[in-house]
Structure 1
Amino acid sequence: MRNKQPTLAQSFAALLAAPSISAIDASQDQSNKPVLDLLCNWFGDLGFQCQQQAVANTRDKHNFVATLGQGNGGLLLAGHTDTVPFDEGQWQVDPFKLTEKDGKWYGLGSCDMKGFFALILEALKEIPLDKLQRPLHILASADEETTMNGAKAFAANAAIKPEYAIIGEPTSLRPVYMHKGHLAQGIRIVGRSGHSSDPAKGLNAIDIMHLVIGQLLKLRQHLAENYRENAFSVPYPTMNFGHIHGGDAANRICGCCDLHLDIRPLPGIALQDLELMLHQYLKPVVSQYPGAVTISTLYPGNEAFKDSADSAWSQLVASLAGNAPEVVNYATEAPYIRQLGCHTLVLGPGSIEQAHQPDEYMAQDQLKPTVELLRKLIWHACIKD
């Protein structure tokens, strides 16, 4: 006999009460196992076959995969179980407690994006699961907010072959079929410090960084002139110099200078190719000053993503959601889910404007439309003849 399923508010509250912060800093990083244990109990009670898969190169993180039905095809509903850290002094409510106020459900992960799993569970309550013609899969991944190692590991080892996938990131229920990627690089120049009265006795790292920036500006121009996708509001790859620091006094030759930059490539530009371009453009400076220039990756990058706005699936989802397919500039797990060979869209409740913000919330007027939309998507992908 199956256990009684929680109400939507109960499942929502339980997910928020299970901290699952992802952070590069080990002192803030947390396992997502408590969230996965909840999902395993709930979906297992509905008859899903549930697995928890350890993710390499993480701190006790796991993916959760639940499947009902057999064979290939069907639908994958995907999301991540982790949240960003929170600034305690800026929150007016308890981040780990569901707080209802002014037509909103507040809590860390309410829209980005643990709440999505509670809405899937709610949608399944009125679906005749014994009528599935094609399988329904649920993926709850690890470490999306940092390395995306969960989605990468899942894509590399997946034993399922869905025909369609929906990633429930907060898009205000607007289907997203394309987004840019993200590459963050650090460049360090190590010169020789000395007294400013005799520059020839040192090697000024700021002078060398000046040459580096000149080459990077040439790469920026090359990217803008040779790659274009007019669907984006900024239709070319961008490069941003976000941080620079060098030296310690006006009367000392600068011995070290650091630059952090990010590049946001269009679909069709692999991160590996982008890194190669970066090295090629900096090669003249590297050759002129052997051993002085170091190029490194600040944190794992994200590939760009592109599906089709005109496919039958995209058009069906757009019709059901009442919103046309669109593009966004932020990154998601979509390029890795797309590697399964399925038609992939990013579509979920809540606004991206709430993600990573103090007092994150899910507007309650998004709840019922999301549940109804999920039921329709499951019916079309898994039940309809």
Structure 2
Amino acid sequence: MTAVPDLHTCFKTLIASPSISSLDPSQDQANDQLIQHLHHWLTDLGFRCEVKQVISSRGKQNLLASIVPPDSRGGLLLSGHTDTVPFDQQRWNSDPFTLTEKDGRWYGLGSCDMKGFFALIIAALQELPLTELKRPLYILATADEETTMNGAKAFAAERKIQPDYAIIGEPTGLRPVYMHKGHLAKGIRITGRSGHSSDPELGLNAIEIINLAISQLLKLREHLKQGYQESVFSVPYPTLNLGHIHGGDAANRICGCCELHLDLRPIPGIPLPDLEVLLRQYLMPITDQYPDSLEIFNLYPGSEAFKGDASSDWSQQVAALSGQQPEVVNYATEAPYLQQLGCQTLVLGPGHIAQAHQPDEYLEMQYLQPTVRLIKELIYNACLI
């Protein structure tokens, strides 16, 4: 009927299309090869495909494929990201860009996180009467989820479509996820004044100032713990971790510079801008006492927390189809951005997050047919009846 290849060939082709995202320009890669494959296959299946370059992404692209029946609206969005994290070749037992089958698993970079989801969507689409759709069906492939999430952010800002429902195919073990925490990574740099340790008055010790800043950060941590709660999480409050500190160069020198890196994980209801305001407020006594000595900077782009509705019709319908109750997770996804389209949003896909970002990443083959079947049922319920 079409020139679209079978599941194994699609899977193999996507794994063989490098699309690493990295904040390090020397490791960052384009995703155009993978986008071209999806464009070709989805066009052959009857979708209208649009490719758009993502601003601030070193030339990366988003792809939106659509079938919109006349006089219809709403429908379903199936979404995934095209990029992978970097890899350490020496820790892999096979070529990361070659699909390798062993012990009931398909190994390859992106096999579960999350190129494999696209191959499974293609397989499901080939078994559906797409000419009989009653409501819109959209397939979205985004750029740079692993770094900036700029692909999803840009697409959400355009408000190009208004689906009723969205599924983001991250590896959840085919369990519907309706809520997760956000993530914010900040650096604090104290610039003091170096000098000889024999006369402390000649310098301004950055280590001593960072110690004062840490005291304020611990007060912020307690404020977050006491003031914000979401009981469904295993850790039911926002967390603040002091993860890395470095300063000074010799015992007999007054430390002129000291840097602290911290990790904040907000629960839903605390937007990242509000969290940054709190951080600056708690550090204000330090900036008042030592003007121009304290700098706060981003280590890498943050991601918002996400909260859907576990009791919504969509959540309950997906729970019934998957045989799994809606749950929460601690990792971040593109869900809070795609939710801005106004759709009921869930995260659900094959494989487990424990395999993501690991050497010898794999997807268990036992997920293949159940995922194809579930995708077909989701499309049928959202778009065909």
- Tell me the TM-score normalized by structure 1: 0.99
What percent identity do the matched residue pairs reach? Answer: 66
Describe the SS at the equivalent of 1:339.
Answer: helix
Matched position secondary structure for 1:244: strand
1:113 aligns with 2:101: no
CA distance in 2, matches of 1:73, 1:209: 52
Question: Residues of 1 paired with 2:99 and 2:148: CA distance?
Answer: 27
8 Å contact from structure 1 (residues 16, 110) kept in 2: yes
Determine the structure 1 residue equivalent to 2:169: 168
Amino acid in the other structure paired with 2:228: Y
Amino acid at match of 1:45: D
- Aligned counterparts of 2:245 and 2:338: Cα–Cα separation in 1: 35
Distance 1:89 1:155 in 2: 38
- 3-state SS in 2 of match to 1:150: helix
Identify the residue that residue 37 of structure 2 maps to in structure 1. 38
Q: Distance in 1 between matches of 2:269 and 2:295?
A: 27
Cα distance in 2 for residues equivalent to 1:6 and 1:95: 21
Q: Report if aligned partners of 1:76, 1:164 keep a CA contact under 8 Å in 2.
A: yes
1:98 — aligned with what?
A: 99
Q: Which residue of 1 aligns with 2:352?
A: 351
Distance in 1 between residues matched to 2:24 and 2:252, nearest whole Å: 36
List gaps (5 residues or longer) in structure 2. none
Kindly provide the amino acid, as one letter, of the partner of residue 344 in structure 1: T
SS at match of 1:38: helix
Q: Per-residue CA shift, 1:164-218, capped at 9, x if unaligned?
A: 0000000000100000000111100000111111111110000000000000000
Q: Which residue of 1 aligns with 2:212?
A: 211
| 1:158 Cα deviation from its structure 2 partner | 2.9
State how far apart, in whole Å, the 2-side matches of 1:113 and 1:330 are. 15
Where structure 1 has 5 or more consecutive residues not aligned to the other structure, the ranges are none
In 1, distance between residues paired with 2:296 and 2:253? 25
Contact in 2 for aligned 1:50/1:66 (Cα 8 Å): yes
Equivalent residue number for residue 5 of structure 2:
6
Conservation of the 8 A alpha-carbon contact between 2:3 and 2:41: no
SS of 1:323 mapped into structure 2: coil
**In the alignment, is the contact (CA less than 8 A) between 1:72 and 1:160 conserved in 2?**
no
When the two structures are superposed, what TM-score results if normalisation uses the length of structure 2? 0.99
Q: Cα deviation per residue 1:63-94 (whole Å; 9 max; x = unaligned)?
A: 00000124420000000000000001000000
Aligned to 1:123: 124
**C-alpha distance in structure 1 between counterparts of 2:73 and 2:288, whole Å:** 53
The answer to whether the aligner puts 1:49 opposite 2:44 as a matched pair is no
Which aligned pairs between 1:1-385 and structure 2 lie closer than 5 A? 3-70=2-69, 71-384=72-385
CA deviation profile, 1:37-58 (whole Å, cap 9, x unmatched): 0000000001100010110001
Which letter does structure 2 place at the counterpart of 1:253?
I
Question: Does the 8 Å contact 2:179/2:306 carry over to 1?
Answer: yes
The one-letter amino acid paired with 2:325 is A
SS at match of 1:109: coil
Q: How many residues align?
A: 383
Shift of 1:4: 2.2
Q: Which amino acid aligns with 1:4?
A: A
Structure 1 counterpart of 2:44, which letter? D
Shift of 1:249: 1.0
Q: Give how far 1:272 is off.
A: 0.3
Q: In structure 1, what is the Cα distance between the partners aligned to 2:23 and 2:4?
A: 35
Cα separation, 1, equivalents of 2:220 and 2:281: 9
Name segments (4+ residues, structure 1) moved above 4 Å.
none
- Decide whether the 8 Å contact of 2:178 with 2:345 is kept in 1: yes
RMSD of the alignment, in Å?
A: 0.7
